[in-house]
Amino acid sequence: EIVMTQSPATLSVSPGERATLSCRASQSVSSNLAWYQQKPGQGPRLLIYGASTRATGIPARFSGSGFGTEFTLTISSLQSEDFAAYYCQQYNKWPPWTFGQGTKVEIK
């Protein structure tokens, strides 16, 4: 099983600032890495797939990068609606499909 590790667990950021979230895989997942956003009381929403491709309708302020075992999600200028939890997920080797434990982005 591929273990996904996210850091930090919580990120405190002011509106308008940049947020950088990290995700590490226990073995290479190539570029088969997705990011999801989850707001309280809602199901997750797909943000990024293929490590760097934005899903339909996702604003350009969200960007993903990385390959192999190290990945980053960057939110260039945080808007009020971006304060949420973010999860990475690998789909390179399955089953199981595995998620990181999440990073909560909160208002500073």
Partner 1 sequence: EVQLVESGGGLVQPGGSLRLSCAASGFTFSSYWMTWVRQPPGKGLEWVANINQDGTEKYFVDSVKGRFTISRDNAKDSLYLQMNSLRAEDTAVYYCARVDDYIWGTFDSWGQGTLVTVSS
CA gap 41, 13 in Å, rounded: 22
> Closest CB to partner 1 among 18 and 67?
67
Please name which of 30, 33, 32, 25 lies closest in space to residue 2, comparing C-alpha atoms: 25
CA gap 82, 10 in Å, rounded: 14
Q: First vs last Cα of the chain: how many Å apart?
A: 36
Q: How far is the CB of 60 from partner 1 (least distance, A)?
A: 19
Stretch that binds partner 1, among 14-22, 35-43, 64-72, 76-84 (CB under 8 A): 35-43
Residue 34 interacts with partner 1 (CB under 8 A): yes or no: yes
Binding site for partner 1 (CB under 8 A): 32, 34, 36, 38, 41-46, 49-50, 55, 87, 89, 91-92, 94-102
